[in-house]
Structures are given as C-alpha cells and as structure tokens.
Structure 1
Amino acid sequence: MNCNTPTDICFSFAGFQARGGLTDIHRDGWGIAFFEGRGVRLFLDPQASSASPVAELVRSYPIHSLNVIAHIRKATQGVVTLENTHPFQRELWGRYWVFAHNGNLKGFAPELRGDFRPVGQTDSEFAFCHLMETLRARFPEGEPPLPVLFEAVREIATGIGRHGEFNFLLSNGAFLFAHCASRLAYIVRKAPFASAHLKDQDITVDFSELTTAGDRVAVVATTPLTDNESWITIAPGTLMLFVDGEPVDAGPAGTVAFTGSGPASCG
C-alpha cells in the first residue's frame, strides 16, 4: 500500500491473511512492514498467516502508515523458518528499505562483495542484497534523484529477472516500487469513495464513511483483493513507481512531489 496520508490496512489485510493457508496454498510464513517516519514496524511469523496469532494482532491493530509491504510465502528455496520470511529489511543511504519477492530465481548466485549479505537461504533475500549492493556501488555519495534511481532499479531488476520470475515490491518509506514479471495488479482509491467487498472473506467496507475528499490510496497485490472494484493489471516486464497514492512517471522528463495529511482508513 502507498498513500498520501497515513492509512491503516486492516481491510485489505483481512483478505490477504486468508490467502495464507485458508483460501490459497501459501502457508510457509508471512510478514508485514509498516513505515512510520524513518522507522519500520516489522512483523514476521513462519506460521501460516491464517493461523497466526501475530496476524490476528496486526489485523485488529490499526497502524497508520504511508507505505506498507506484506508478503505470504510459498517456499521454493530455503527452509520454512523465521530468517527466510519476507519482507526483508536493510539500511541504504541512511534509510530503511523493505523488499518482498514472489517467484523463483534459478541459478542466481552473483558474488556479494559489500555490506549486504543474506541471513537466510532464499533466492529472494539474495536478490535483495544484490540490488542494494549494486545501488550503493553505483551511487556511493547518496540517494540519486528519483528518475535516476528508477532507471537504475529497472536495469538491475531486468538483469535479475533473466534468472526466473521476479515480481517484487520495494520501498524506503517515501515511495513504492512494484516490478511485475508475471502477475501484479493495482487499484487507486480516491474520491468519490464507494464500498468494497473482499474476495477471500465476506467483508464489505464503505470507504466514504472513513475518508476525506483528499485521501488517496494505491493497493498493489499479486491478484485483486476485492471482487467489486476495477483493478488494473500491470503488464509483465513493467516497473511502476507509486507516490502519494498513485502511479507517477519517473522517466527522464517525469516529476514527483511528496505531500501528506491526517490519518485515514481506506486500505
């Protein structure tokens, strides 16, 4: 989730949680990261999210954030254990970066020479460390302008993606990258707000009762979380950037701006 005002994700998480072993086969752990200022609240559990007491805590705890990344794992590489549970977190240029991957990278084993080393055994964490190490080596003086960073992430992702399926979400708390290799979809909720019904749980929320006219929230998921809203399918091979609750053009001529206001509840 990426939004222009701190927002809770309780509604979407209710449907997302069910996919971890109840309505889907992804039962090998789950995690969620909430950015708060320059800090991150990170919850991880190697249990299936549908049976996790930690997931129940998160579902009932309305943490407000501008950027949230959640992941439900189906293990392809690495045992089912806490250190292999997404999302993964690292520091780069004085900010926390959070990453979650869906897919399987075969034979991906570039040499890591810097400060970023995987703790677990997954191809996902290896890819994240390689991405962070490559960015730090390319921009040793600090974070580059966003259009330059966007092109660098896209180039590195293309290289990693040659080894297999590389759908991922990446954020430093200021914006959200979403890379689609095979399956991703998104929706932008903004005024006039309407009701939404979850696909995986019989829950409906009328966002018009919980929001203000200026609120805007983008939700990205492997497959749509609701069945009465128009989600947009992201084309394979696409890197998207979300800022303030909407996709933005981060190409050479693109511009971005950052704003914010009070808490909302339309995630």
Structure 2
Amino acid sequence: MCQLLGMNANTPTDVMFSFAGLATRADEHKDGFGIAFFEDPGLRLFVDHHSARQSPVAELVKRYPIRSGNVIAHIRKATQGKVALQNTHPFMRELWGRYWVMAHNGDLKGFQPRLHGSFRPVGGTDSELAFCWLMQELAKAHASVPPIDELTRTLAELLPIPARHGTFNCLLSNGQALWAHCSTHLHWLHRAHPFGAAHLADEDLSVDFGPLTTPGDRVALVATQPLTTGEPWVAMGTGELRVFVDGKAV
C-alpha cells in the first residue's frame, strides 16, 4: 500500500519533520516518491521513480527550507503502471488558472472513464486516469473556480464514483485547501497553540514545535498511518471526505 502525507496550514510551514517520518517507510514502498509544495499561485513539484531512501532528490528536499501552506507527498508501491517517472505521484494539472495536485493510494479495477477534454494521462496508472477524469468533471460542473464549500459539495458527488472500483484514498489540493477522501486508511491531526513536542513513530527523532511557532499558528496533517506517537490522530471512516482550510478541518 502506498503512503500519503498532506499538510494544510494558515501560515507557510516547514513539513520536513513529517516528510522524514514518511520517507522511513520507503523500504516497503520503494517504487518512487514525490512531494508538491504550493507557494501562493506557484508550485514546486519534486518526483523521482527511485526510493525516497536512496534518491538524491529526496535528500535535496530534506535539506531545502521550503515553507508552504499546502503540501502533498506520496511514497509509491506500484500496483498499476511500471516503475517510471511518468507514473510517480503526485500528479499536477492546471484548471481555472490554478495548479491542482493529486496523490492516490489504492487500486482501481475496471475504471475506464471516457475522457473527451484536455485532461489526458501521460503515464499508465489508474491514479492519473482518475485525476484526469476528476479534473474533466470539475471543469464541466463549474465555469470558473467556485468557493471552497461549493467545490467540496461537487467533490462529494464525484469522488465516490472511482471509489466504487476499488480503494481510493486520495489527497487533492489547488493551493487554497486540502481535500482528503478515505476508502480504507487515512488519519488526520490538528496542531495548534500551545504547541508541544512530537516523536516520529518510525524513527528516533523528536522536535519541540513550541519555540518554532506563534500562538496564532494552526497546522493540519493527513497521513495513511499516524506518523507520530503521543498525538491525537483521528481515523477517517470509509467514504469520508474532509476539507482543511487555514490549518483546520471545516
């Protein structure tokens, strides 16, 4: 099973502590990794079809002091599509003059939607196909970017459709919000003042967020499995869709 990580914050935030925890799971998920950082309307997207344990790109990301309000990361264990750069998540498309990014954990069987617009997959994964279909249907449903609550209602109608074909845990963002859809395994966490220390579940690494934050900071994290111990991660239910804006679930 692939591993997902998403972050949404009300101020540009460093996600490297959580990414370090995700990368430790690359021994079992060695078919590539990727991470996308939204910065205002811009996007930094790093992908490599090599393991995050061995990739020089992963080492670059860990040492690059990028702060972002929305982040999506993925550690791949291939089910459909060969191990190749074009099949490495997250995937990116443009819609309504904004970048959109999606990463998927799961396996879809028999999902062959008709694509008739400008969104076409480059690789051979079910994940990219589902993303292109989703972008196509959003473009059909709205003439321009709608408010977040309206987008969420549309996504609540669309996301169950690919989910009928298998497992569809996914993270989606346009830089304004982070959407998380759960089929089997997704957990979320809210951090706010007073910030304390956190300890990674898979590595002997801790950080005290207190000196690094202000009382007004808020951060929401979403991961396939909890990345830290001693924090109140919340398991999402089957078919549940959550949207995070400015570091909190809304």
- What is the aligned partner in structure 2 of residue 6 from structure 1? 12
- What is the aligned partner in structure 2 of residue 40 from structure 1? 43
Query: In the alignment, which of 130, 134, 138 is matched to residue 127 of structure 1?
Result: 130
What is the letter of the counterpart of residue 65 of structure 1?
S
Contact 1:112/1:133 (8 A) holds in 2: yes
Pairwise CA distance, 1:146: 2.1
Report whether the alignment pairs 1:188 with 2:194. Answer: no
Contact 2:197/2:209 (8 A) holds in 1: yes
Contact 2:187/2:223 (8 A) holds in 1: yes
Pairwise CA distance, 1:145: 2.5
- What is the aligned partner in structure 2 of residue 177 from structure 1? 179
- What is the aligned partner in structure 2 of residue 69 from structure 1? 72
Taking the aligned partners of 1:123 and 1:207, their CA distance within structure 2 comes to 38
SS in 1 for 2:194: coil
Taking the aligned partners of 1:55 and 1:148, their CA distance within structure 2 comes to 36
Taking the aligned partners of 1:155 and 1:183, their CA distance within structure 2 comes to 20
Taking the aligned partners of 2:19 and 2:211, their CA distance within structure 1 comes to 19
- What is the aligned partner in structure 1 of residue 169 from structure 2? 167
What is the letter of the counterpart of residue 107 of structure 2?
N
Taking the aligned partners of 2:146 and 2:101, their CA distance within structure 1 comes to 18
Pairwise CA distance, 1:57: 1.1
What is the letter of the counterpart of residue 203 of structure 1?
L
Contact 1:9/1:62 (8 A) holds in 2: no
Taking the aligned partners of 1:145 and 1:46, their CA distance within structure 2 comes to 35
Contact 2:242/2:249 (8 A) holds in 1: yes
Task: List alignment gaps of at least 5 residues for structure 2.
Answer: 1-6
SS in 2 for 1:137: helix
Pairwise CA distance, 1:133: 0.2
What is the letter of the counterpart of residue 17 of structure 1?
A
Larger relative strand fraction:
2
Taking the aligned partners of 1:91 and 1:38, their CA distance within structure 2 comes to 11
- What is the aligned partner in structure 1 of residue 4 from structure 2? none
SS in 1 for 2:57: helix
Taking the aligned partners of 2:235 and 2:64, their CA distance within structure 1 comes to 30
Pairwise CA distance, 1:228: 1.7
SS in 2 for 1:2: strand
- What is the aligned partner in structure 2 of residue 60 from structure 1? 63
What is the letter of the counterpart of residue 213 of structure 1?
P
What is the letter of the counterpart of residue 230 of structure 2?
N
- What is the aligned partner in structure 1 of residue 248 from structure 2? 246
Taking the aligned partners of 1:61 and 1:189, their CA distance within structure 2 comes to 23
- What is the aligned partner in structure 2 of residue 232 from structure 1? 234
Contact 2:194/2:210 (8 A) holds in 1: yes
- What is the aligned partner in structure 1 of residue 109 from structure 2? 106
Query: What's the C-alpha RMSD, in Å, of the aligned pairs?
Result: 0.7
- What is the aligned partner in structure 2 of residue 82 from structure 1? 85
Taking the aligned partners of 1:145 and 1:2, their CA distance within structure 2 comes to 17
Contact 2:148/2:177 (8 A) holds in 1: no
- What is the aligned partner in structure 2 of residue 254 from structure 1? none
Taking the aligned partners of 1:4 and 1:147, their CA distance within structure 2 comes to 17
Taking the aligned partners of 1:118 and 1:106, their CA distance within structure 2 comes to 17
Taking the aligned partners of 1:124 and 1:62, their CA distance within structure 2 comes to 29
What is the letter of the counterpart of residue 67 of structure 2?
H
Taking the aligned partners of 1:127 and 1:52, their CA distance within structure 2 comes to 27
Count of residues in Structure 1 that have an aligned counterpart in Structure 2: 244
* TM-score, length basis structure 2: 0.96
- What is the aligned partner in structure 1 of residue 25 from structure 2? 19
Work out the percentage of aligned pairs sharing the same amino acid: 59
SS in 2 for 1:47: coil
SS in 2 for 1:197: strand
